[in-house]
Amino acid sequence: MIKKLRITILCENRVTNPQLVAEQGLSLLIEMPEGKILFDTGQTDTVVRNAKSLNLKLNEVTKIALSHGHFDMTGGLPHLLREISHPQIYCHPNLFNKKFKLRDNERIDIGVPWEKSDLEELGANFILKARPLEILPDALITGEIPLLTSYESIDEIYQEQILESYIHDELHDDMALILKTKKGLILLLGCGHSGVLNTIKYAMRLTGENRIHLVMGGMHLQQATDKKIEKVVNNLMNLKPDYVAPLHCCGFRCINQLYNQIKNRTLLYNVGDSFSLN
């Protein structure tokens, strides 16, 4: 069990500290005695700039975990590879598939903005996994997350290119990071495309642990209906998490409902904020 850690937000949509920079995206630095993991990379050099402003040493990171293959989670990779020497980068085999989003009858490229070979030339060591894998003691990636709830599914607006065809992208590459701690599970989500409840329930099944200490990250509810948000939040509360830190794509309505239900246990974090377990 992990007994001590600190999670620092290096990239997020919101910022209050004038010395730091915000952008649409997410990146979390997990520091433990067992090692340092970077979860997602934002979309530009924001992670590097913010880490320097916070006096955090990225060159001590040995592992990078990528939640899925969209630009706002992977765009920062080349900038990080100039700071981190030959890191192991854990991701799904579908991460580099050509990915798109439909908006106003247009197909917009939202995939990884870099070629895998170019990143490997910069020192990236990609470890492609579709199944759960422990990357440090008591820290594991979920691999593919099964969709079990009736109210969480992958939006039809997402597509991927297969040969000359565009098909619905079921985002099999979407995965989370699980940290097994003395106080229960800490779940880190990128956008949570597979659904926060699907993700938590799968993590509980993988680990045999029913206590949820913290859920942090995106829940992809910014554009969801009020009915869906209410259902997700109510079912999340039924699992009795100690803390929830909604970030990135959760949206104001989701954050508002969480705060109304658990107030001081809803952590309204910005870039540079951190969560500690001692």
pTM over 0.85: yes
> Each residue of 222-231: pLDDT tens digit?
999 999 999 9
Give the C-alpha separation, 188 to 200, whole Å. Answer: 10
> Each residue of 228-249: pLDDT tens digit?
999 999 999 999 999 999 999 9
Number of alpha carbons in the 13 Å side-chain half-sphere of residue 67: 32
Structure tokens at 13: 């949509």
CATH of the domain at 240: 3.60.15.10
Predicted local distance difference test score (pLDDT) of residue 105? 87
- Identify the band that residue 201 occupies on the pLDDT scale cut at 50, 70 and 90: very high
- Percentage of the chain modeled with pLDDT above 90: 98
Number of domains in the chain: 1
Q: What share of the chain is helix, strand, coil (3-state, %, to 5)?
A: 25, 30, 45
> What length is written for the chain?
278
- Amino acid identity for residue 116 in this structure: K
Number of alpha carbons in the 13 Å side-chain half-sphere of residue 173: 26
Predicted local distance difference test score (pLDDT) of residue 252? 96
Q: Other CB atoms closer than 10 Å to residue 146's CB: what's the count?
A: 12
The region, left, alpha or beta by phi > 0 then psi within -120 to 50, assigned to residue 40 is: left
| Domain membership of residue 154 as a residue range | 5-277
Torsion on CA atoms 98, 101, 107, 108, rounded to nearest 10: -80
**Mean pLDDT, rounded, for 153-158:** 95
- Identify the band that residue 196 occupies on the pLDDT scale cut at 50, 70 and 90: very high
**Mean pLDDT, rounded, for 207-217:** 98
